[in-house]
Structure 1
Amino acid sequence: MSVSVEELLGIKPKAASAETVDQKIAFSFLFFSDVRKDISDAQKYDFMRDITLFADREGFTSIYLPERHFYEFGSIYANSAVMAAYLIPQTQQIRFRTAGVSLPLHHPAEVVEWWAMNDILSGGRVDLGFGSGWNKADFIYAPDNYDGRREICSERIEMVKQLWRGEEISFPGPDGESYPVKVFPRPIQKELNVWLLVAKNTEAFIHAGRQGYNIFTMLYGNNLEAMKEPIRLYRQAREEVSLDPKQGIITLMLHTLVHEDVDLVQREAEAPFKAYIASALDAHVKAAIVPGEVVTDDEKQKILAYAYQRYFKTSGIFGSLAHGREIIEEAISVGVDDIACLVDFGVDYQIVQQSLPYLKELIAPYIKKNRSTGC
């Protein structure tokens, strides 16, 4: 291309000097897996291990591990506790978080047992994020829990917290009897840090604030500015129940690929990212058109191209250090505390590995600021 992608998208570069960094923000990685056919599951595990070790060395705060079942996309993460147990002995600093455990599928005591073991093995580096689940097939593990999954999730989060503290809870057992249990082994951390997976629903932000949970979220097709009001409501909700509004952590997932060659980023990210957008496009198109109206394949491709360019510009950390810095600063301005960089969304692993030094350079001023303020 004779014109750079950033010029094409109207992005004006800004200097990314350390001297201008005056606000703190943490950086993490999220793994969600892709459906590439050219690599084995073992290679996918090797890749996420290498990224985790990079994160551990370079001052990233955490890695977020998902839970996925019976679907090729993300299928290598059937049990996040097993994945964490594999990585923990290879790391020194990084925290292990879930994004998240589908709590209606599991007994709360079982979840605490698994993760208490990991808390011990890691020296107290475990935090847990929870979601209610959505895929009906997942609920073969708990068929009766689908309809009430949100209420069950809320109820079980509190049970997990109680069991983590060492409190005793009675659960139903055989023959209609109840059995009081305490969970062993005991974790190192006396209190569990909890994240709630939250979509666009502002009521969920308010609920998380009132309960004292941290939040894991993503843009869901919105831009960063759209996050400002839900985050404000979250802070307000914390304050209303006498919790420090500044202490809750808002974690935002952003697709990430940083490189000095912006055209390379465009080439490598375009196909997998368009595939990612296309996976949800049909549903959005159906919701937007008038009944009986037909959207042609050509029109769908135009919608896809527009959505991709818009997302590339405003909703991910793509391209140069200057553009990455703009996105980070905007995230800070709307109230984000932790950016979870998603790098396994279909880009060739060698390209991702080549991009890591640039990502390291991008976040270095913020990491330095965090360390200087004791964060």
Structure 2
Amino acid sequence: MDFSLLYFANREVTDTAQEYELLVKSAEFADSHDFTAVWLPERHFHSFGGAYPNPALAAAVLAARTQRIRLRAGSVVVPLHDPLSVVEDWSFVDNISEGRVDIALASGWHPNDFVLAPDRYAVRREFTFGAVNEITDLWAGKKIWRRNGKGEEVETTTFPRPVQAELGLWLTCSRSPETFDEAGARGLNVLTALMFQGTDKLAENIERYRTVREQHGHDPAAGKVTLMLHTFVSENDNAVRAAVRGPFTEYLLSSSDLWKAQYLDFQGSDPKTTAKWAFERYFHRAALFGSVDRCTSFARELHAAGVDEIASLIDFGVEHSAVLTMLPHLDEVRRKLNGSGLQRGRVTSAS
């Protein structure tokens, strides 16, 4: 089972010299301890996640500080860009990293983000799926048609040419079975989370994803399912609960206005009550919180449900020094899990 790190900080900048220290130091740890990748988000116009307005910029920084880990966008909000600029940016990072780039694609969800492309909000899903082929073609060196400044249709391709012949592509899937279907039908990998689905529903969606892959001629076992989990591992559960409860609750509260504006489930609810309930849910069944043994057991359960990779979100507010001290414990989970002879619960025709 692969283990990676993922970032989605809620930061009001108070010390610019330290703003991205955790990003760099934790990525260097991952690079030297057999972690698979770092996942870098795209977020606009809000402190929740707003430390990362362009994942390619963060990836370029890490390309110069690491040697082997994959540098992944988690995710590019495709309707806010032209596929040409997506491929240009990530081809550049692919060059300076010597071929270590992958991208997760997302359609976006919050209307305020779309001040960058207001006409695309209503058709954001269609635009995202339509862009997949263009991104793939441009990465392969093919040309696409665009209208230039004179109104003329011209064939256009991108430079620099990437190092990798093919680009690893994920589709970000929150809870909608239909989005898992789209990923399966197109042969894409999946980046998902437990924010709006439990582990039983996740297992159902993964099973559905692999079935649809097979129906569309893709190897059902080949697609990778990456699960984002808020993560803090230490010697015992009580120590972890004490360390994360305050910062994580504040982290949840910092995003309450975003969720309430988008999801009816949150409208009319008291943010503090909801955050208190959410913390208990995350601590017990939706995050990698606790001792090494507890987290190893949960990760093993997730692998049996079909998860191939855990992407640990580590920058949710715990002091940087404590997070860096936590990383060896997370590495112990990784080593224990991968030395235990993992087995999947499902059987496919490709097994």
TM-score exceeds 0.5: yes
Q: After TM superposition, give the deviation of residue 301 of structure 1 in Å.
A: 5.3
Number of the residue aligned with 1:103: 78
The answer to whether the Cα contact below 8 Å between 2:12 and 2:47 also exists between their aligned partners in 1 is no
Give 5+ residue unaligned stretches, structure 1: 1-24, 371-375
The answer to whether the Cα contact below 8 Å between 2:175 and 2:196 also exists between their aligned partners in 1 is no
Q: Does 1:315 align with 2:294?
A: no
Number of the residue aligned with 2:347: none
The answer to whether the Cα contact below 8 Å between 1:26 and 1:337 also exists between their aligned partners in 2 is yes
The answer to whether the Cα contact below 8 Å between 1:59 and 1:367 also exists between their aligned partners in 2 is no
Number of the residue aligned with 2:346: none
Which structure has the greater CA radius of gyration?
A: 1
Q: Does 1:344 align with 2:315?
A: yes
User: Which of these residues, 113, 130, 134, is aligned with residue 138 of structure 1?
Assistant: 113
C-alpha spacing 1:204/1:247, structure 2 compared with 1 (3 Å): same
Number of the residue aligned with 1:326: 297
Number of the residue aligned with 1:21: none
More RCO (CA 8 Å, sep 6+): 1
Give 5+ residue unaligned stretches, structure 2: 342-351
Range 244-253 or range 136-145, more displaced: 136-145
Q: Does 1:43 align with 2:43?
A: no
C-alpha spacing 1:74/1:245, structure 2 compared with 1 (3 Å): same
User: Which of these residues, 2, 20, 29, is aligned with residue 5 of structure 2?
Assistant: 29
Q: After TM superposition, give the deviation of residue 302 of structure 1 in Å.
A: 5.6
Question: In angstroms, what is the RMSD of aligned CA positions?
Answer: 2.3
Provide Cα deviations, 1:48-68, integer angstroms capped at 9, x if missing partner: 100100000111100111011
- Which residues in structure 2 correspond to 1:128-167 (within 5 Å)? 128-167=103-142
Name the SS for the 2:296 alignment partner. helix
Q: How many residues align?
A: 338
What CA distance in whole angstroms lies between the structure 1 residues aligned with 2:156 and 2:12?
44
Q: After TM superposition, give the deviation of residue 326 of structure 1 in Å.
A: 1.4
What CA distance in whole angstroms lies between the structure 2 residues aligned with 1:160 and 1:89?
25
Number of the residue aligned with 1:248: 223
User: Which of these residues, 153, 158, 161, is aligned with residue 186 of structure 1?
Assistant: 161
Number of the residue aligned with 1:358: 329
Number of the residue aligned with 1:208: 183
What CA distance in whole angstroms lies between the structure 2 residues aligned with 1:236 and 1:332?
18
Number of the residue aligned with 2:50: 75
Number of the residue aligned with 2:234: 259
Number of the residue aligned with 2:41: 66
Range 122-131 or range 359-368, more displaced: 359-368
